[in-house]
């Protein structure tokens, strides 16, 4: 008994204040980081706080933000999707073709949803039924989707012939452009899906422990297919905005490195690469952090060739902090 008591006495005690601070950092680190970066940006550049600049940041991150929401769902399930940029450009090319062929914006939008969902569904089938690692499956889709887009567009750009299509990305409600509103709506809907529904709970369960999820009678294959299909649908929404902005899409340059930006936003937002832990609100702030950093580098005339280095460094730092939690 004496030995047992001495062992108990030797056990280090964590002070309530330190424990509280640790919990706050664990739960709200991305929000704290956002506040720090926002304040730093405000100090470094007086132009940063200009309302037009703030709206410009939101506008710039809206497309990547929507893609990142889908990436979050995939990564929460324990997977990854490297095909988002290529699928986006493929959806954009097919959407413009449908728009020009029918003259109907609604048919073009519906076509975008179908193509994006099918691409995501195929990713899900390869991962769930084919037992192919998500990295390999989506890498293959990345190459295939880009190749098909380049073939259809003959390596160039395709322009829309229906002027009303540009209203999707270029009109506004009060001071907010439609892409910003769509991004905010998608964030709320995905938040509800992932945190308030059975589907969301099952995604978290699969990401935490797939074998335990199987033993709990969760239909893992169906959930995985649903996850990738939903990610594809969100990519199609982003593709519609991207295409509508200039009423055209470039098969060679559109969507390039979107997967890097989306993954960076998700990791910065606190979602673990191994799955099972993360929050949609974290991704939202992760996207904003990337947007502020990009904006600051532009305001400070940092070479665009170095911006990728900064993003890569941020990803590494975020993963290091995750490992320490």
Determine the average pLDDT of the residues in 120-141.
97
Region of residue 155 (left: phi > 0; alpha: psi -120 to 50; beta: else) = left
Percent of the chain with pLDDT over 90: 73
pLDDT computed for residue 33 by the predictor: 86
The answer, yes or no, to whether residue 316 has pLDDT greater than 60, is yes
Whole-number pLDDT of residue 23: 62
Please give the pLDDT value at position 132: 96
- Decide if 216 contacts 62 (C-beta within 8 A): no
d(CA 57, CA 59): 5
Higher per-residue pLDDT: 8 or 258: 258
Contact by Cβ (8 Å): 145, 83: yes
Does residue 6 register a pLDDT over 70?
no
| Predicted local distance difference test score (pLDDT) of residue 146 | 97
Mean per-residue pLDDT of the chain: 90
- Averaged pLDDT for residues 279-283: 94
pLDDT (tens digit, 9 = 90+) per residue, 27-68?
778 888 899 999 999 998 889 999 999 999 999 999 999 999
Is the CB of residue 31 less than 8 Å from the CB of residue 285?
yes
What is the per-residue pLDDT for 22?
65
Q: What angle do CA 313, 317, 319 make, to 5 degrees?
A: 120
Out of 174-178, 189-193, 206-210, 303-307, pick the least confident.
Answer: 303-307
Tell me the pairing of strands 176-177 and 172-173: antiparallel
Q: Could you give the C-alpha distances from 271 to 32, 231, 238, in angstroms and in order?
A: 16, 16, 21
Query: What pLDDT is recorded for position 8?
Result: 46
Domain boundaries, the chain: 62-260+267-279
pLDDT average, residue stretch 292-319 = 83
> Is the dihedral angle over the CA atoms 133, 138, 140, 141 positive or is it negative?
positive
Q: Is the pLDDT of residue 4 over 60?
A: no
Provide the whole-model pTM: 0.91
Q: Which two tokens stand for residue 220?
A: 């893992």
pLDDT at 19: 64
Mean pLDDT is lowest, of 18-22, 26-30, 244-248, 262-266, for 18-22
249 backbone dihedrals φ, ψ, rounded to 5°: -145, 135
| Token reading at 134 | 């998500």
- In this predicted model, what pLDDT tens digit does every residue of 182-220 receive, in sequence order? 999 999 999 999 999 999 999 999 999 999 999 999 999
Give me the pLDDT at residue 26, please: 66
Q: Read off φ and ψ for residue 284, nearest 5 degrees.
A: -55, -50
C-alpha pair distances (Å), 191 with each of 175, 209, 280, 325: 24, 22, 6, 23
The DSSP code sequence of 182-227 is HHHHHHHHHHHHHHHSHHHHHHHHHHH-HHHHHHTT--HHHHHHHH
Distance separating alpha carbons of residues 119 and 128, to the nearest angstrom: 14
What is the pLDDT averaged over residues 264-283? 92
Mean pLDDT on 151-170: 92
pLDDT band at 7 (very low <50, low <70, confident <90, very high): very low
- The alpha carbon torsion through 308, 244, 75, 263 (nearest 10 deg) reads 10
CA-to-CA separations, 87 to 138, 195, 206, in angstroms, rounded: 10, 27, 25
Phi, psi of 111 (to 5 degrees): -60, -40
């Amino acid at each position: 008994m004496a030995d047992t008591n001495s062992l108990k006495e030797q056990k280090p005690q964590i002070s309530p204040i330190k424990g509280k601070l640790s919990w706050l950092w664990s739960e709200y680190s991305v929000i704290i980081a956002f506040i720090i970066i926002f304040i730093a940006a405000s100090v470094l550049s007086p132009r940063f706080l200009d309302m037009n600049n703030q709206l410009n940041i939101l506008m710039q991150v809206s497309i990547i933000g929507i893609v990142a929401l889908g990436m979050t769902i995939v990564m929460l399930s324990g997977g990854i999707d490297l095909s988002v940029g290529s699928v986006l450009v493929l959806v954009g090319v097919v959407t413009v073709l449908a728009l020009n062929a029918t003259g109907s914006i609604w048919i073009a939008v519906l076509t975008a949803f179908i193509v994006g969902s099918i691409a995501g569904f195929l990713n899900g089938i390869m991962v769930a039924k084919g037992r192919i690692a998500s990295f390999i499956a989506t890498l293959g889709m990345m190459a295939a989707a880009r190749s098909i887009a380049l073939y259809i567009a003959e390596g160039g750009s395709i322009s829309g012939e229906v002027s009303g299509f540009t209203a999707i990305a270029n009109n506004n409600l009060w001071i907010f452009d439609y892409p910003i509103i769509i991004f905010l709506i998608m964030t709320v809907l995905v938040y509800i899906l992932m945190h308030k529904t059975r589907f969301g709970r099952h995604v978290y369960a699969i990401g935490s422990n797939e074998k335990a999820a199987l033993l709990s009678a969760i239909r893992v294959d169906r959930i995985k297919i649903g996850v990738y299909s939903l990610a594809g649908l969100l990519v199609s929404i982003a593709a519609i905005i991207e295409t509508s902005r200039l009423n055209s899409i470039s098969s060679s340059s559109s969507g390039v490195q979107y997967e890097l930006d989306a993954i960076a936003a998700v990791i910065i937002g606190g979602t673990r690469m191994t799955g099972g832990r993360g929050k949609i609100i974290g991704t939202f702030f992760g996207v904003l952090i990337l947007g502020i950093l990009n904006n600051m580098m532009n305001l400070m005339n940092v070479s665009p060739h170095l911006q990728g280095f900064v993003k890569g460094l941020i990803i590494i730092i975020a993963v290091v902090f995750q490992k320490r939690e």
